[in-house]
Structures are given as structure tokens and as C-alpha cells.
Structure 1
Amino acid sequence: MAKFGEGDKRWIVEDRPDGTNVHNWHWAETNCLEWSRSFFTNQFSNAVILSGEGNLFIKINKVEKLEGEAYVNVRKGKIIPGYELSVSLSWEGEAKDSEGKTILKAEGVVDMPYISDENADEDPEVRVSVKDEGAVGKALKEAMVKKGKGVVLEKVRVFVEAMAKGGPCRDELENKKVASKSVAAAAVEKTSVLPAVVVKEKEKKKVKTKEGFKTITMTEKFSCRAKDLYEILMDENRWKGFTQSNAKISKDVNGPISVFDGSVTGVNVEMEEGKLIVQKWRFGSWSDGLDSTVKITFEEPEPGVTIVNLTHTDVPEEDRYGNATVVENTERGWRDLIFHRIRAVFGFGM
């Protein structure tokens, strides 16, 4: 076990000689510039803006320029897109008389100088210009601004949404998600063909949970008084000590809690010093509206020996990104990042 305040090499991920990114543990960056260029080309090439309304015909010809950078970072299903693009589109318009004869043709440019992930929730600036500033040219430009700007922005929003879902990595991520579910389904099918006696025995041990959620149960033994362990779990400064992360823990019922640098938030539900802690917990990576219940009971069968029983209910099987490792990671977190760390820092053996 590493000394307090030092890194433990068992938990440090080192680069493999073969470069394999096992289970997507490392951040993997994908250059999306060419993919973005193709995306905009498909969206805007020969896109019709007006097809005869007011005897005006306007369309976007093609992407004249796309410069900047675009990339997607992915780690364990979490997607972080990044892009700063400057895009120019060419457009052309035609005005006809009532008999369908062409009065004038005009060409122009649509410039979007800054499309960025920093402003993903805002529409970028769109500048429309025309080469012929005559009366008809101005009329075509005004029509392009009035009708075309909305079309252009809608297509940019499609790009922003596509990048948020992984851009060129989306299909790979979806395939991994399907594969993960297939493995889980296969495991269920394999279990279903176990001998009847074995199945019955497992049914006795099974904890009834809502579909899509699991319950974690754990028992740990410490060489300390129950009240000491209770105080450690309810004291934010001691939390900071053994987890090496920020924590805010209220000692009042209905008081808020925030641990692991805010990755976990919740509220106290019920407390009895040295005997019981009940809290609502939710992780930032879970889908909105989901929370779980943590129940910790303390038993002291003899002085200086404490048995901790943990029941963590309503833990979702998947997070908001489709990762099916939530239960496994939560259970490992309780064991390795909380209980084992308490032993290492405060010397409570067993």
C-alpha cells in the first residue's frame, strides 16, 4: 500500500508497449477535420434556399473553404468534442420575370468565421455578401439573408449535434454499446440454462431490484470503535484525507453532501451516531433524475471491533453515455477508494 499522499502504482495506468488502449482507459483523440469538411459538403452542396417564391431562385453551390481544427476525445464512452472552424459557402441567385425569363443572376458568399465548441449552445455569426450590389442583387441578398440564414444555421446545428455524439467515432461507439449489451444478454442466457437446483439456490440469494438497476451489498470488518468509523464517514476533512479529493458533508438530516470533487452529490436521509447512515447518492455521469440510496449500519460485537454493512440500492446498470460498468465501478469504489483507504490512512486493520 502506498504511503499517505503518494501515488499507488497499482492504480497508475502506464502506456503499453503495443499501444493498445485497453477498455478505452486512455483518452483517444480522433482528428475530425476531413470528416467535418465532408459533412459540410454533403449538407450544403446544391442546397436549395428559394425555388420560385417571388420569382427568385437561390441555392448554395458548395463549400469554398473550411479551415481550422476539429477533433473528438473519447474515454470509456465519454465524448468531448473540440472544434474551431471558419467556413465559406458560395451561393447563386436568379431573378425572373412573370414569364419565367431571367432578369439577372448574382453570386455571393456566406461566411461563418467562427464555429466553435465553446459556443455550441449558440448560433454562430453568419455573414452574407453579394458581388453585384445593384437593385436586383440587393434583393437576392436580402432574400438569402431572410430565407437562407435559417437553413444554414439549421445545418450547422446538425453538425454540432453530430460532433457531440462522437462525429466519425459514433458508429464505433454504437457498435461497442451493442456488443456490451450482447455480452450481457449472452450471460443471462447462459445463466438461464443452469440446472434447476442451482437456479433455485441463486434465486434465494437474489435481491429484488427495479429493472435496469442493481443493489450492491458489502460487509467490512475494522479494528476500531463504531463511533470512530461513523465520524470518519461524516467528517468532510477526514474524507479529504483518505480520498485526497474535495468533500462537503453536512451533519444534519436533509443536509447536502458532495464528495470526490463533486463527482458524487446527495443528501442525508437518516443518521444515528455510531449506528446508522442513510444517504441519497447520485453520480454526475448518471442520467438526469436518477439517484440511489446508501445505507450503512455499524455493529460492534466486541470493544474495538466494528462490522460495517453496506447496502447501496438503485444503482443504474448504465450511465448517460451507455457504459455498462456503473455497478462494477461503484462496488470497486466503495471497496478500494473508501474502505481500504480508511484502513491505509487511519490504521484500522482486519
Structure 2
Amino acid sequence: MARLGEGDKRWIVEDRPDGANVHNWHWAETDCLEWSRNYLTNLLCNKSILDGEGILYIRTKELTKLEGEAYVNVRKGKIIPGYELHLVLSYEAEAKDSERNSVLLTEGSVEVPYISDENAGEDPDIKISIKDDGPIGKRLKEAFLAKGKPFVLEKIREYVDTMAKGGPAKDDLEVKKVASKKPIASNSNETVKNNSVSNTSAKESKKEKRKEGFKTISMSEKFSCRARDLYEILMDENRWKGFTQSNARISKEVGGEFSIFDGSVTGTNVELQEGKLIVQKWRFGSWPDGIVSTVRLIFEEPESGVTVVRLSHTDVPEEDRYGNATVVENTERGWRDLIFHKIRAVFGFGI
């Protein structure tokens, strides 16, 4: 260890007289609590959840509570968000009769006790309550659970994604990036050629490096059913909702889109052969931007009433956007415990 005053100055960041944080070398922390209050208010408040469906009307009102902390740390362009929030949102609910006369007008609340960067890849727990506990009040509460809860979760995911990109600090980062770019003029064709070769090599190197951080999940599961039955379960959104107990939208057309596990996973259908093959592009909301994986499910019937499904899930990143290195493990566990085992439990396809 060097003595005081004798260290290599290239590794020492001295305080500048002008107080500037050159290239964000130091940690720059931005308090985001008030920004979070305004951002979540715009996302959640005064939004129509139901507007007459089943003669029910539900509208969110205001954030009655947002407590905790929220901040974004930036150093040398690296963004590290931190937040632990307790949120309470009020809503108004009304039921009318067939002649559109009000039968019950009441209020309720949505409590999200813990929104945290530690659980950024998971949907938080939500508690729904309503002041009237009679039959009509219960019906309104159930309607909010069906329509309002997915809405709230979607907006919280939007907040989490925005924080991961820098929150209120994002604009400052973009300004610095633009300011740091300087045009390079050259009259030499050889210089242009060399730069082109250099850029191509850099892109190829970056591509190879990126692929090093990806894994493939392979799995084989056996079911006591016909292949077309298992295929239908995986491609039918109502059955998917049934065995996962989560919202889903699934197109049965090639090129069609799907959204499963309450929107945590989205993608498109690439190739579909009924009872034989499903090829899809999958993306998890917690993954870094631009990363899309490929899911291939092959269905085989080695004997009557027995189906073997072979899974190949390629280009799964080793880390999520928050630096957690458990993506492959969690994805593999999800296929096994939340999909294949749940299908057995609900539909009785043993083996």
C-alpha cells in the first residue's frame, strides 16, 4: 500500500474547484421520493376501471399514502435504483340498477405494503378493501380484483421499469451522452476505412461477449394424456388462467402476441403445429431491454395416451436488468413448478 501522498494519481479522484462531477466518477444520488409520488399519481389516479360493464362503475381517486424512500445512484453511467415504498390508493365504486339508478355508492382502498428494488422482478402483494361489506359491496370488490388489480400491477411495473432506466436522472444522463459526442472530420479515405473495420470488429466482439452471458434450458416431461390435449392447454388462455391462477392473453395464430403471468412474460408465436410443435419468442419484464429468448416445445406420443414434451429455451440471460444472477435458475424452476407440475395438479395428467 502506498504511503499518504505517494499513490498513483491516476487512481485518485480529486475534488475540483468548480465542484463538477466529471464523467460521473463519484456516486451521484438523486432523491426520487417526490418524483415517485408525482409519477405514480399520474399513472394510477383518476383512472376508469369499469364504466358500466355489469352496471358497475369503478374509478381510482388519489394516493392517500406514499411513504418510504426512493433514489437513483449513478456512477460512470451505471444506474442503481433503490426504493422501498408503501402505497395506498383510494377508489370509488358504484352499482346501478337496470334503469341506471344508483343502488350503492361506496369507497375502497388499494394497499401495496412493499414495493422494493429487491423484488423488482416480482409483482408485489396487493390488499383490496371496500367500506360496504354487503352483497353489492362484495360484488364491487370482486370486480376491482378482476379489473383493477391487473391495472395497478401494470402501472407499478411501469414505475419499476422507469426507475431501472434512471427515473428523474435519466434526462441528465441523456444530455451528458449527447454532449460527450464530438464529430470527427477526416479527409483520408484510409482513416474512414480503418474506422469502419474497427467498428465492425467492435460490434462482432460485443455480440460474442453478449452471447457468453446466455444459457439454454433443456427439459423433458412426460404426461398421461394426448399430445393435442397438452398443446391446447398451453395455447388456450382460459385454461392457462386456470392452472396458473394468473391473467393471460394468448393468440393461437402465427405472428400473434401473448401475455402471461399477469403480463410478466410477453412474446409472439413463431411456429405452431397443433399437437406437435410450439415455437415462441419470450421476454420477461425484468430482463435488460432488447433481450428476447426462444422457446421450442416438441410434443411426442411414444404410446397411446402418453405424451412427452421436450422443452428447449434458448438465449436466457444469466442476469436480469438489476444484476441478479438467478435468471436461469428461476426460469427453469418456473417451467417445472409453475407450468408442468401445475398442469398435472389441475388436469390430473400424472406420470
Same fold (TM over 0.5): yes
Structure 2, unmatched stretches of 5+, are 214-287, 290-351
Tell me, what secondary structure is at the counterpart of 1:83?
strand
Matches of 1:203 and 1:144, distance apart in 2: 61
Query: What does residue 105 of structure 1 align with?
Result: 105
Query: Which residue, 188, 197, 208 being the options, matches 1:209?
Result: 197
Alignment of 1:119-138 (within 5 A): 119-138=119-138
Tell me by how many angstroms 1:211 deviates. 4.0
User: Match of 2:179?
Assistant: 179
- Tell me the amino acid that sits aligned with residue 74 of structure 1: V
Kept in 2, the 8 Å contact 1:282–1:290? The answer is no
Query: Given the superposition, is the C-alpha separation of residues 135 and 203 from structure 1 closer, same or farther in structure 2, using an over 3 Å criterion?
Result: closer
Amino acid at match of 2:164: A
CA distance in 2, matches of 1:159, 1:74: 18
Which runs of structure 2 are paired with 1:138-217 in the superposition (5 Å)?
Answer: 138-181=138-181, 183=182, 186-187=183-184, 190-191=185-186, 194=187, 199=188, 202=191, 206=194, 209=197, 211=199, 213-214=201-202
In the alignment, which residue of structure 2 is the partner of 1:289? Answer: 211
Distance 2:200 2:29 in 1: 31
Aligned-partner residue type, residue 211 of structure 2: G
Q: What's the TM-score, normalizing by structure 2?
A: 0.55
In structure 2, relative to structure 1, the CA distance for the partners of 1:129 and 1:203 (3 Å cut) is closer
Query: Residue 48 and residue 288 in structure 1: after superposition, are their counterparts in 2 closer, same or farther (change >3 A)?
Result: farther
What's the CA shift string for 1:18-54, capped at 9, x where partnerless?
3210111111000000000000111112111111111
How far apart are 1:7 and its partner, in Å? 5.2
Q: Tell me the CA shift for residue 106 of structure 1.
A: 1.2
Aligned residues of 1:108 and 1:131 also touching (Cα < 8 A): yes
After the TM superposition, which residues 27-106 of structure 1 pair with which residues of structure 2 at under 5 Å, given as runs?
A: 27-106=27-106
Residue 15 of structure 1 is matched in structure 2 by: 15
Q: How many Å separate the matches in 2 of 1:287 and 1:83?
A: 31
Query: 1:183-231, CA deviations, whole angstroms, 9 ceiling, x for partnerless residues?
Result: 1xx21xx21xx3xxxx256469x3762645449xxxxxxxxxxxxxxxx
How has the CA–CA distance of structure 1 residues 207 and 109 changed in structure 2, closer, same or farther, with 3 Å as cutoff? Answer: closer
Q: Quick check: which has more Rg, 1 or 2? A: 1
Q: 2:90 aligns to what SS in structure 1?
A: strand
Deviation at 1:134, TM superposition (A): 1.1
Q: CA deviation at 1:123?
A: 0.4
Distance in 2 (alpha carbons) for counterparts of 1:80 and 1:42: 24
Could you say what secondary structure the match of 2:210 adopts?
Answer: coil
Distance 1:281 1:200 in 2: 24
| TM-score normalised by length of structure 1 | 0.55
2: distance between equivalents of 1:287 and 1:159?
30
Give how far 1:167 is off: 0.2
Specify the SS of the correspondent of 1:163. helix
CA contact (8 A) 1:94 1:103 kept: yes
- Deviation for aligned residue 1:179: 3.2
Letter in 1 for 2:14: E
* In structure 2, distance between residues paired with 1:70 and 1:287: 33
Residue pair 1:67, 1:86 contacting (<8 A) in 2 also: yes
Residues 82, 104 of structure 1: alpha-carbon distance in 2 compared, 3 angstrom cutoff: same
State the SS of the aligned residue for 1:173.
Answer: helix
